[in-house]
Amino acid sequence: MNAREPAFVPTSRSARLRQMLVSNELEFMMEAHNGLSARIVREAGFKAIWGSGLAISAQFGVRDNNEASWTQVVDNLEFMADASDLPILLDGDTGYGNFNNVRRLVRKLEQRGIAGVCIEDKQFPKTNSFINGEAQPLADMDEFCGKIKAGKDSQSDENFSIVARVEALIAGWGMDEALRRAEAYRQAGADAILIHSKLSRPDEILEFAREWAGRGPLVIVPTKYYSTPTEVFREAGISTVIWANHLIRAATSAMQAVAKEIHSSETLVNVEDSIAAVNEIFRLQDADEYSEAEDRYLSSASAGSAVVLAASRGKGLEAVTEDRPKVMLPIAGKPLLRWLVDAFKKQGVNDITVVGGYRADAIDTAGIKLVVNEQHAQSGELASLACAAAKLSGDTVISYGDLLFRSYILRDLVESEAAFSVVVDSSLTEAENASVRDFAWCSAGDDRGLFGNKVTLRHVSSGQEASSAIASQTPHGRWVGLLNVREAGQPRLAAVLSQLQARADFATLDMPALLNALIEAGESIEVQYVHGHWRGVNDLEDFRRAGDFAHAQAPFAANVAATDAASGAAQ
């Protein structure tokens, strides 16, 4: 072959295993014993996996004496084959019975995508070769040849490999017997011979290889003669080296050390930095692929996502927010954020990202993803929103973090088909003081459902603007802090947000600035009017009243009258 031509890599696993066996290069196989270790073997760069009988038994916590049934082994192999696209050579012990068991085993292995099986010339049930190997009876040679023939005759994939393992050296029957058996197995159709030794030096393996003289591929397992330089195997013309049990042993010592440490110290703090991060486990499980598939296949079923802005301490609430952000203030027995998250979940909005800032460490609400606006002290709502830019896809509700509302408000909002829609409270048209923002001017006032008119947003008062022409007119209500963006609106939202991000004063901008920029960019923002039925928590008085409101939202609340009070609701 031309040295510059890349080696042809066959696509099927069985063809790849066969190529490894027959190639003139020294090849290597690494033990794996479950799906996770199979994936780790692939990532380390190995070309094939040894499905070790010892390691698979050990991970089940049973002995290497065929205590795990062969179907349990095959089920385990299925996880390994799913987790890694490498060829797997199963250590099939003695073939789990006579020729007939081997036939069925080969068919089942082919069905599960296993590339080959190694069978050893001992008797069922076997014992690991390193446990009193001399005492173990060998199989009758002719009977074992029948098993090899039966296996080869029952494979439907021509590349499926059967490796015959010669135990004569282990059992103390001598070199001549080992060679006699190996030749018989080759003639019976074995694709390779595994010659096993329990000596700490490679001498008998090397002698065997010399006598064998390249009659067929030779596979070795240097567990006991591990200190032999690999170059020696290469020079001896060995086809494949199996590193047979090193991952189960590595896992065992790591688990023993960590279990012992946690037990004695009664804390996790000493081990956290020296073990795989939970995210590393997720990566090995390919969790990202699941999320992508969810986006692809579940988008219509899922009710979208939410981004909750929760970075602020809360002006006027300093007395109660020393150790927590405003969203973690307790309202009627649970944090404000919990009420909000529960409200989202009730509408099937389960993918909830909260942007924290001030005392984000105190946000420990279950069922959310937390991102942190590290610049919260010097920046405003849009800077916080930008921290969650990656979450702005699909149907998304953007919400202030300090809201309580009746459930129909969110239900109606998420059901809106408009690319952009907001909730405006028409009961609030007068500010208690000039600094209050979020007043909304719309294309028409609230007709309280009489005419079913479509109303759009024209302007929302922002904390930044000095005064605007429209602000001299009475507003139509107050934006409550809920914006629904449909998937179709996301690219436009992203475009407007990035224009604003280019501005020097971006750090000071609030959500109304975004709504106004969308309107200026020609977007239509649908208005859903409500009349009360929500509360914002902006000062101690709001905080006090929010408790009554929240109590009334709880199931079977007695205090229903409190729910209708809308005055003072403010963001």
Q: Point out the residues that are catalytic.
A: 64
Stretch that binds ligand SPV, among 46-54, 267-275, 283-291, 403-411 (CB under 6 A): 46-54
**Of the residues 98, 128, 443, 464, which one makes contact with ligand SPV according to CB under 6 A:** 128
91 binds Mg ion (CB under 5 A): yes
Comparison of 163 and 337: residue with beta carbon closer to Mg ion: 163
State how far Cα 468 lies from the chain centre.
Answer: 49
Stretch that binds ligand SPV, among 48-56, 149-157, 402-410, 552-560 (CB under 6 A): 48-56
240 binds, options ligand SPV, Mg ion, none, Cβ within 5 to 8 A by partner type: none
**Three-class DSSP labels, 442-455:** ECCCCCCCCCCCCC
Closest to 464 measured CA to CA, from 507, 417, 410: 507
Closest to 224 measured CA to CA, from 242, 193, 190, 199: 199
220 binds ligand SPV (CB under 6 A): no
**261-288 in b/e burial notation, b at 16+ Cβ within 10 A?**
eeeeeeeeeeeeeeeeeeeeeeebeeee
Alpha carbon distance 55, 52 (integer Å): 5
What are the structure tokens assigned to 445, written together? 């006032």
Distant-in-sequence, close-in-space partners of 338: CB < 8 Å, separation ≥ 6? 365
**Of the residues 40, 74, 182, 244, which one makes contact with ligand SPV according to CB under 6 A:** 244
Closest to 248 measured CA to CA, from 28, 52, 425, 114: 52
457 binds ligand SPV (CB under 6 A): no
8-state DSSP, 328: G
The 3-state DSSP class for residue 29 equals strand
The 3-state DSSP class for residue 107 equals helix
Q: Which residue is nearest to Mg ion (CB)?
A: 53
Min. distance of Cβ 11 from ligand SPV in angstroms? Answer: 27
**27-45 in b/e burial notation, b at 16+ Cβ within 10 A?**
bbbbbbbbbbbbbbbbeee
Stretch that binds ligand SPV, among 50-58, 154-162, 232-240, 268-276 (CB under 6 A): 50-58
Comparison of 53 and 116: residue with beta carbon closer to Mg ion: 53
222 binds ligand SPV (CB under 6 A): no
Element (H, E) at 36: helix 35-44
Pairing of strands 240-243, 305-310: unpaired
Contact mark string toward ligand SPV, 78..97, x via CB under 6 A = -------------x------
129 binds ligand SPV (CB under 6 A): yes
8-state DSSP, 463: S
Stretch that binds ligand SPV, among 47-55, 285-293, 371-379, 448-456 (CB under 6 A): 47-55
252 binds ligand SPV (CB under 6 A): no
31 binds Mg ion (CB under 5 A): no
Alpha carbon distance 158, 15 (integer Å): 9
54 binds ligand SPV (CB under 6 A): yes
CA-to-CA dists, residue 310 to 241, 314, 326, 398, 509, angstroms = 58, 10, 8, 11, 15
- What are the backbone dihedrals phi and psi of residue 333, each rounded to the nearest 5 degrees, phi first? 95, -10
Alpha carbon distance 36, 79 (integer Å): 9
52 binds ligand SPV (CB under 6 A): yes
Contact mark string toward ligand SPV, 174..213, x via CB under 6 A = ----------------------------------------
Min. distance of Cβ 38 from ligand SPV in angstroms? Answer: 15
**Of the residues 18, 19, 49, 53, which one makes contact with ligand SPV according to CB under 6 A:** 53
Comparison of 165 and 476: residue with beta carbon closer to ligand SPV: 165
Alpha carbon distance 107, 544 (integer Å): 72
95 binds Mg ion (CB under 5 A): no
536 binds Mg ion (CB under 5 A): no
Closest to 349 measured CA to CA, from 373, 329, 368, 370: 368
34 binds ligand SPV (CB under 6 A): no
Contact mark string toward Mg ion, 46..85, x via CB under 5 A = -------x--------------------------------
**Of the residues 49, 145, 220, 221, which one makes contact with ligand SPV according to CB under 6 A:** 221
Min. distance of Cβ 355 from ligand SPV in angstroms? Answer: 52
Min. distance of Cβ 22 from Mg ion in angstroms? Answer: 23
CB-neighbour burial class of residue 508 (10 A; exposed 0-12, middle 13-18, buried 19+)? middle
129 binds, options ligand SPV, Mg ion, none, Cβ within 5 to 8 A by partner type: ligand SPV
59 binds ligand SPV (CB under 6 A): no
Comparison of 167 and 446: residue with beta carbon closer to ligand SPV: 167
Alpha carbon distance 216, 66 (integer Å): 29
Min. distance of Cβ 73 from ligand SPV in angstroms? Answer: 11
456 binds, options Mg ion, ligand SPV, none, Cβ within 5 to 8 A by partner type: none
Residues in contact with Mg ion by CB under 5 A are 53, 91
Residues in contact with ligand SPV by CB under 6 A are 52-54, 91, 128-129, 221, 223, 244-245
